[in-house]
Structures are given as C-alpha cells and as structure tokens.
Amino acid sequence: MSFVIEPPQTPSLPVVGTEDRFPIRRIFCVGRNYAAHAREMGNDPDREPPFFFMKPADAVAHDGDVIPFPPETNDLHHEGELVVALGKGGVDIDPSDALAHVWGYAAGIDLTRRDVQAVAKSMSRPWDLSKGFDNSAVIGPIHPANDVGGMNAGTLRLTVNGEERQNGDLADMIWPTPDVIAFLSRSVELAPGDLIMTGTPAGVSQLVPGDRVVVEIAGLSDLTVEIGA
C-alpha cells in the first residue's frame, strides 16, 4: 500500500527538559470557563454545562514564533489559557479519575478572529473559521504532570508589549480540568495526544502587527510570540 499524495507529518510540541516531542491528535477548546470573561462577552456566568469547539492539530504555533497576521480579520484577540495534554484516552471518565489521563500541561493562546466570531454568533453559524485558522493554537513546551502536579490553582497572566492585559487564577475556572475531561469524554472517545485548551480569564483584547505577547502560568515555562505583518 502507498499513499497517493505525501501523508502529512504529525504536529507536535516540545517537552521541557528533553529532546522528545508530544504528538498532537486533536485540539479541543472550552468556551467561557471563567465567570468574569463570560460576563465581558455578554453572557450569564451561571454554572451551565461547559461547551466545546475545536482547532485543527496543524493550527498549532510555537513559543518563539513570529505569527503572520491572519487574513480576514480586523479584530484579532488573544485568550491566554492553560493547555492540558492527554497521555491516556477513554470514554465516560469519572472526574475523580480524570487527572490520571493527563500527561502534561502548557501555556497557550487561543487566537480568535473576534469580528468573524461576532458574525457567526449573530447568524447562528459555526465558529470554525473564527477559532480554527492557521497558527490559531499557540502552545508552549509541555511540562510533565509528574513534575508540576494537577495545576488546579496559580496565576495566569498575559502581557502585550509588557503591559498586563489578563490576570486570572486557574482556581477560578468554572469547570476545573477534571470536570472538563469528564464532560468531553461523554461526547467523544478521548485519545492519547488530545489537547484541551481550558478557557480564558477576563481581559481579552485586540492584537496588532508588531505586538509581543507573553503568557505566564505559575509553574510552567513562559510562552512568547510576536504578531507579524
């Protein structure tokens, strides 16, 4: 058997302290997982069940990248987020067992074409092209869970050109990581290599060409990218 075209390479992330890479299978994202961000987007932050959207695995961009300013938007937004990397899959995972499925954690940015998303929301259209465009999943190096624990609390801070735009705490997630994994595993069979971007705290704002964006999460490596022309 041979492929009729060259098969794509497996997207991957560096693992801190090694030459090894973490292969990416799928990228799931949680919407509105911090009450103050839900409010700033005009939604009621009551504890409604989490909802999910996706980015393609090859939409990943890396620490140190210069990300070309994406087409079809005049309102590119940053969303600083904790990223969870699964080492083990499953269905109907119990929250009490969920962290045993986590291989590691990284800092991330869910880049969003906010203007495209606003049109999608108003016309009840899908979010794919407002959230899942090229380089839209910015993710730093992965820290093994064995080294950093459950990452259930700690500061998440995002700066643009040194100016603070987002400052939240992982403890303020409406649905903590074990609950997110449990909910998702009721909808799909999770698999090793799946990533989950766990949502963003308040303070999302616009990025323009030349901006330098840094995400700092207590216990993890900083993630730094520049928005190019």
What is the binding site for Mn ion (CB under 5 A)? 79, 110, 200
Closest chain position to Mn ion (CB): 110
Query: Which residue's CB is nearer to Mn ion, number 117 or number 185?
Result: 117
CB of 33 to Mn ion, least distance (A): 8
Strands 21-23, 27-31: pairing is unpaired
Which of 49, 12, 41 lies closest to 203 in space, CA to CA? 41
DSSP at 192: T
CB of 136 to Mn ion, least distance (A): 10
Which of 55, 56, 31 lies closest to 45 in space, CA to CA? 31
Residue partners of 1: CB distance under 8 A and separation at least 6: none
Residue recorded with tokens 């005049």: 74
Query: Which residue's CB is nearer to Mn ion, number 13 or number 38?
Result: 38
CB of 109 to Mn ion, least distance (A): 9
For residue 52, the one-letter residue type is F
CB of 75 to Mn ion, least distance (A): 15
CB of 81 to Mn ion, least distance (A): 6
Query: Which residue's CB is nearer to Mn ion, number 83 or number 98?
Result: 83
Query: Which residue's CB is nearer to Mn ion, number 15 or number 28?
Result: 28
Query: Which residue's CB is nearer to Mn ion, number 15 or number 176?
Result: 176
Which tokens sit at 45? 């932050």
